[in-house]
Amino acid sequence: KAGVTQTPRYLIKTRGQQVTLSCSPISGHRSVSWYQQTPGQGLQFLFEYFSETQRNKGNFPGRFSGRQFSNSRSEMNVSTLELGDSALYLCASSLITSLNPLDTQYFGPGTRLTVL
């Protein structure tokens, strides 16, 4: 079974631009979560989608948004990019979003975004 895939793997943008990142979960997984990893702040939760609905959201400004499609694929959008948005963006999928082992998160390889 294929793992979580993320595209693109690397991205360079300039301040003020917007960017869209894509995540395809493991087949059959319905929950997709996004995380931002930076050297200063570590790994931080952005948001989680389950069955096309945002189930949870972290403490990020409204410039960060996402959505999930009926096939469970998810996209994350960042508008009006700032230098501080440079980070590794990780996507994770799980079978369900609940309180049992099926909630095990499986991560993709990440998209490394550089904002100049």
Partner 1 sequence: GIQVEQSPPDLILQEGANSTLRCNFSDSVNNLQWFHQNPWGQLINLFYIPSGTKQNGRLSATTVATERYSLLYISSSQTTDSGVYFCAVRGNDYKLSFGAGTTVTVRA
Binding site for partner 1 (CB under 8 A): 33, 35, 37, 42-45, 48, 55-56, 58, 88, 90, 92, 97, 99, 101, 103-107, 109-110, 112
CB of 81 to partner 1, least distance (A): 20
Query: Distance between CA atoms of 44 and 26, rounded to whole angstroms?
Result: 22
Q: Are 23 and 76 in contact (CB under 8 A)?
A: yes
Strands 74-78 and 106-107, bridge-based pairing? unpaired
Q: In whole angstroms, how close is the CB of 3 to partner 1 at the nearest point? A: 9
Q: Concatenated DSSP letters for 4-19?
A: -EEE-SEEEE-TT--E
**Rounded Cα gap, residues 90 and 107, in angstroms:** 7
In this complex, which beta carbon is closest to partner 1, that of residue 43 or of residue 83?
A: 43
Complex with partner 1: residue 104 or 114, whichever CB lies closer: 104
Least separation, in Å, of the C-beta of 56 and partner 1?
A: 5
Nearest to partner 1 of 45, 79 (CB atom): 45
* Number of neighbouring beta carbons within 10 Å of residue 19: 18
CB of 11 to partner 1, least distance (A): 14
